[in-house]
Amino acid sequence: MNGLHETELLQTAARLVVEEGMDYGPAKQRAVKQLKLPARTALPDNEALEAAVREYIALFCADTQPGELAALRELALLWMERLAEFQPLIGGAIWHGTATRLSDIYLQLFSDDPKAVEIVLLNQGVDYEATRVGGLQGAVDALSIHAWCEGLEEDVGVHLLVNDTLAQRGALQPDGQGRRPRGTAAQLRQRMQQEPAA
């Protein structure tokens, strides 16, 4: 793929991620279709797309995104505290700082008994929907809830991925760029203090 097509593809995919809340994979696929590129077009990697998302946010959302990110991080912390017994980790756009009001919260939980999380939610009177998704090591139960976000004044999707406790081992290993792919509640709190909302 030539440089011009790659730049266009990244910019289009970044717009879909920010403006429509799409995940990286589907955003890249839709960008290929929108730009009428061949179906077999090589897709840019997630690091390149994340850089394009950061550029897009800086250009078009600099006034709103920091406040939206702060509100989502506060809500994530609330749920991490509520589910502290399952050693929750936060990843994705909320951890990396690229989330907007359209971003959902994804928490990795750890338990040898997947039903234990469901029991805690039932005891707290929380409605959830259960599905199976890809986790840290294979398919896991995902419990999805709609949680009211005070800072955004709207519901936000919170997805609890219940991993086996053995999956904790590699969960905090640095990625290809040497960054932590996810963090604990304490690490998220520290990140929030280091990157104050505008």
Mean pLDDT, all residues of the chain: 92
pLDDT for 196: 58
C-alpha to C-alpha distances, 149 to 17, 37, 94, 153, 173, nearest whole angstrom = 20, 39, 14, 6, 30
Strand ranges in 4-153 using DSSP code E only, listed in sequence order: 89-91, 105-110, 129-135, 138-149
Domain count, the chain: 2
* 86 and 156 assigned to the same domain: yes
DSSP classification of residue 169: T
Taking the C-alpha atoms of residue 32 and residue 125, their distance in angstroms, rounded to an integer, is 43
DSSP classification of residue 42: P
Q: Which one is predicted more confidently, 196 or 83?
A: 83
Query: pTM for the full model?
Result: 0.89
* 34 and 79 assigned to the same domain: no
Nearest Cα residue to 19 out of 58, 55, 53, 66: 53
* 72 and 53 assigned to the same domain: no
- Per-residue pLDDT of 27-50, as tens digits, reads 999 999 999 999 899 999 999 999
- Per-residue pLDDT of 149-182, as tens digits, reads 999 999 999 999 999 998 888 787 777 777 888 9
Find the domain containing 136 and state its range: 65-194
Note whether 192 and 73 are within 8 A (CB).
yes
* 140 and 79 assigned to the same domain: yes
- Per-residue pLDDT of 37-85, as tens digits, reads 998 999 999 999 999 999 999 999 999 999 999 999 999 999 999 999 9
- Would you state the structure tokens that stand for residue 34, as one six-digit string? 């929108």
